[in-house]
Amino acid sequence: MRGKNLPNDLVFEEQIFAENMGKKIKFSRKFRKVTQSQLAKSMHITFQQFQKYEGGQNSISVFRLHQISSKLNIDISSFFLPLAAFINYVRYQNIDITSQEFHEQNE
């Protein structure tokens, strides 16, 4: 359960953080043209769990964020940038990965 034993303002901050992280995950996944199912399968988690990360319903662990960043070839530290800076970082980095390449790397 999120926010257990935390003051209300910290629960709110945690919720906002999870939602923003989810937006970054979703943007980077779509930018790389990878489906939720593909990424979830490569991480050995359910599609439903992945949806909860992207939707901000569940906070994501550093381990899971590391998996996502590695599989999408995005520096993990960039996920801690403000949303607009993150989007610019992903759009303008020189590394590109196609959905086909993602499949080949994660099978």
Angle 47-55/8-31 helices, nearest 10 degrees?
120
User: What is the reported pLDDT for 103?
Assistant: 57
Rounded Cα distance between 4 and 69, Å, is: 28
Rounded Cα distance between 85 and 45, Å, is: 29
User: What is the reported pLDDT for 63?
Assistant: 97
Rounded Cα distance between 87 and 39, Å, is: 19
User: What is the reported pLDDT for 101?
Assistant: 61
Q: Show the low-confidence residues of the chain (pLDDT under 70).
A: 1-4, 6, 94-107
pTM (two decimals): 0.79
Domain boundaries, the chain: 8-105
CATH number for 8-105 (one of 3.30.70.100, 1.10.260.40, 2.40.37.10, 3.30.1320.10): it is 1.10.260.40
